[in-house]
Structure 1
Amino acid sequence: MINILVLCTGNSCRSQMAHGYLNQFTDPEKIRVYSAGIETHGINPGAAAIMKEDGISIDHHTSNHVDEYVHVNFDYIVTVCDHANENCPYIPSKNAIRLHHNFFDPSKVKGTEEKRHEAFLRARAEIKEYFKRFVEEYQLA
């Protein structure tokens, strides 16, 4: 079994969307996906709604702290925001491939509902494309 961890600050938005796409792009018989934060903020309703628009439900996901997974030996650890990358505690995974990409944070956008929706669309598109390429590049499909 290949274990992938997606790590963000609060495990509420970007890491949750990435988790949803990784579950869609990979075989659950071969790949186990985890997402976590260096804090826990709960699932962002905007993230859940924008993923649902693309046919993926993350409503059942939970917001988890990275310390909950110290027992898991990860093959890939992907940080999806600079804050988590800079402040992440040591994760003792032997030989894990560590990747980082700072995705746009739609939860920080204020304004009209339309403006916030556009922000979540932008983030979703970036995350979907990145993780589609990730799965292809590392032959995880």
Structure 2
Amino acid sequence: MKKKVLFLCIHNSARSQMAEAYLKKIGGDKFEVESAGLEAGNLNPFAVAVMKEEGIDISSNQTNDVFDFFKQGRLYRYVITVCDKESSDRCPIFPGMSEKINWSFSDPSSFTGTEEEKLQKTRKVRDQIKEAVQDFVKQLKR
């Protein structure tokens, strides 16, 4: 049976989108994966660009509001927040959820500097997310 996973962040514009894409790629058909935000925003162009460097196209992804999922009665085995702890605490508790995990990553929408500097900082977050997803998949295989 597939393990249902929801990745959450503030706007569902970068971190949760990258995590969803990586778990789909790395975890394959063992997972059913979605992502959402506390408030649906717009896709972050830097996140789209750095994922494209990895051969993953998220440019047509929609952003989702977590409260819509909650109202629809969706169930998840794992809810993984990829924002700071304070924002994570504002997320709803899904019935039947067996584990809520917080991975705190910097928010690409807050990055300042030149376009190249923002890309570089977003690449760093992308790589941290990829590593966290790889570790998550390995732990569940044990």
Alignment-mate amino acid for residue 26 of structure 2 = F
Q: Which residue of 2 aligns with 1:134?
A: 136
Q: Is the 8 A contact 2:79 2:97 kept in 1?
A: no
Pairwise CA distance, 1:84:
2.9
Q: Which residue of 1 aligns with 2:28?
A: 27
> Is residue 2:7 matched to residue 1:6?
yes
> Is residue 2:126 matched to residue 1:91?
no
Q: Which residue of 2 aligns with 1:101?
A: 103
> Is residue 2:71 matched to residue 1:68?
no
Alignment-mate amino acid for residue 84 of structure 1 = S
Matches within 5 A, 1:28-47: 28=29, 30-47=30-47
Task: State how far apart, in whole Å, the 1-side matches of 2:69 and 2:126 are.
Answer: 25
TM-score by length of 1: 0.91
> Is residue 2:128 matched to residue 1:123?
no
TM-score by length of 2: 0.90
Call closer, same or farther: CA 1:138–1:118 in 2, change over 3 Å. same
Task: State how far apart, in whole Å, the 1-side matches of 2:97 and 2:76 are.
Answer: 8
SS in 1 for 2:113: coil
Q: How many residues in Structure 1 have an aligned counterpart in Structure 2?
A: 138
Q: Which runs of 5+ in 1 are unaligned?
A: none
Alignment-mate amino acid for residue 141 of structure 2 = Q
Call closer, same or farther: CA 1:95–1:114 in 2, change over 3 Å. closer
Matches within 5 A, 1:40-59: 40-59=40-59
Q: Is the 8 A contact 1:7 1:84 kept in 2?
A: no
SS in 2 for 1:138: helix
Pairwise CA distance, 1:126:
0.6
Alignment-mate amino acid for residue 93 of structure 2 = Y
Q: Deviations over 1:79-117 (max 9, x none)?
A: 00124312112322x142111011122221111112111
Q: Which runs of 5+ in 2 are unaligned?
A: none
Task: State how far apart, in whole Å, the 2-side matches of 1:42 and 1:34 are.
Answer: 16
Alignment-mate amino acid for residue 32 of structure 1 = E
